Amino acid sequence: MKTALGEQRPKSSKSLGASAYEQICKKIITLQYAPGTLLEEKTIMMDLNIGRTPIREALLRLSGEGWVVIQTNRGAMVPPITLQETRAMFETLKILDLAIVPLLCSNSFTPELGPLYKANRDVARCIEQNDLLGLVEANHLFHLAFTDSARNHFLLRAVRDVRNQAKKLAYLSYSNDTAPLPSLSLQEHYKSVIHEHDLIIEAMKQRNEPMLESTLLKHINTFQQRIIAYMSA
């Protein structure tokens, strides 16, 4: 923003704090700040080119949301990912996704399907381009669009928190295979994801509650099995 004299105003501490929060959160999700990483303020300041006060504001917010743990005299740390927490996350994901099904299949409700079609096309494009990170993001956006179609911002907020954790797990399990897609089996897996997305959309169009519920459960269970297998290896 410019002043009346045409000079550029410096960003407020609040806007810098929000920017720092978003950037740190993204680095945690994409494993640039991996589980177990100690986040020193000086290092983050250099990474983001943002001052100490906004960084501290961001870390306090991230701590309150469970993204980091503040340690006395040590700073913030990205907490490790445990099997127990991962299983709990998937249980929560199933509860939230299945809670939407009766609403989406109600005769009095017409969900918006356009964003789901677009996100699934993006998944297919990323597979063709061997863009694994883009694929994880497109898949993430598909599921946010699914929740958003219920037009309940409280539900969307809850699902977004859980889905961010799920996205981090997806990056984690494929972090050594960023390009190209690592194997035929993985390509086949993601092609099955596209098919299951198509079935989710079709069930929504038909208002077919049993089909939508069973497809969602299969979809989540397949992802859960891959993550648990990776973490247990």
pLDDT(168) > 90: no
pLDDT, mean of residues 16-42: 90
In eight-state DSSP terms, residue 8 is: B
Q: Where in the chain is the domain with CATH 1.20.120.530?
A: 83-232
- Read out DSSP for 19-52? HHHHHHHHHHHTTSS-TT-EE-HHHHHHHHT--H
Its sign, for the CA torsion 67, 71, 76, 82, is negative
Chain segment 186-222, per-residue pLDDT in tens = 667 778 899 999 999 999 999 999 999 999 999 999 8
Distance, in Å, from the CA atom of 112 to the CA atom of 94, rounded to the nearest integer, reads 21
The proportion of the chain whose per-residue pLDDT surpasses 70, expressed as a percent, equals: 87
- What's the CATH class of domain 13-77? mainly alpha
Q: What CATH superfamily classification does 83-232 receive? A: GntR ligand-binding domain-like (1.20.120.530)
Beta bridge partners of 38: 77
**232 within 8 A of 83, measured Cβ to Cβ:** yes
Beta strands in 40-103 (DSSP E): 69-71, 75-77
Q: How far apart are CA 198 and CA 210, in angstroms?
A: 15
Inform me whether the pLDDT recorded for 223 exceeds 80.
Answer: yes
Order of strands across the sheet with 69-71? 38-39, 75-77, 69-71
